[in-house]
Amino acid sequence: MNRLRALCSIAAAVCLWQLVCVLGAGPKAALISPLEVGAALAELCVNGMPPGNLLPLHALYSLGRVLTGVLLAVLLGGPLGLALGASPSARRALSPLVDFLRPVPPLAWIPLAIVWFGIGFGSAVFLIFLGAFFPIVLGTCSGVRGVDPLLVDAVRTLGGGRRDIWLKVLLPGAMPSVLTGIKVGLGIGWMTLVAAEFTGVRQGYGLGYMIMSARDLQRLDLVVAGMVGIGLVGLALECALGCLYKHLLRWQ
């Protein structure tokens, strides 16, 4: 029933969108109907934008950049979050630096990223890393700090060591918050990537690059189709994370 309600809401939104376009309730040049978007999606899959660069390859290149950046954020942000959550001294020493850097938007780093890594894969991955890093750090830290101290004391009372505390109490207890941080970081990283690709890519592939190419040709239907493609990939990532959550948190 939940899936049926979701499909009905999507269908209702598409029908309303088509109705607005048919009635002309807005600037005619800016109204792109769902039918036109569907035709544009087919054109992107068959002909591509720029010609020869097909939509699936744009999505794969963007997805590869996102997953690389998020993986780096997990590898570096996860241990830092664990240290901040478990050690008051580390929290006092490093929290001011994290709180200072966290409000800076990833897009503000674009000029430095281009200078440091050039235009291409390195700068895009760096920006995605920045977007995903801080949510992962904060989620991990919050998860560790949220574990009931009585559980830690119980493990010690039963003769468990530090390894048992980490593997049997802290890590499982923090896992929901860690996964939430990864989910938020992945979403921010995905949005950051598309904006970063506006600055250019060397390989000629990327959803943001594709949208800018369509804009230069004044093809608003292809621009909206690219936006729909971004949403579809984001929905697929959400479903994949949902399956991962169910697998890792099946003990709940």
Chain segment 135-170, per-residue pLDDT in tens: 999 888 888 888 777 877 777 777 777 777 777 777
Residue 91 has pLDDT above 80, yes or no: yes
The predicted model scores a pTM of 0.82
Q: Which fold has domain 36-45+53-248?
A: MetI-like fold (1.10.3720)
33-47, 106-120, 238-252 — which is least confidently predicted? Answer: 238-252
> Which residue bears the tokens 């800016």?
30
Tokens at 236, concatenated: 């697929």
pLDDT, tens digit, for every residue of 202-235?
667 888 888 888 888 888 888 888 888 888 888 8
Length of the chain: 252
CA distance 104 to 243: 32
Q: Summarize the confidence of residues 26-55 as an average pLDDT.
A: 81
SS3 of residue 31 by DSSP: coil
Residue 75 — very low, low, confident or very high, per pLDDT cuts 50/70/90? very high
**Alpha-carbon separation of residue 16 from 8, 9, 13, 32 (angstroms):** 12, 11, 5, 13
> Which residue bears the tokens 């607005």?
20
| Identity at 202, one-letter amino acid code | R
Helix axes 220-248, 55-86, angle to 10 degrees: 40
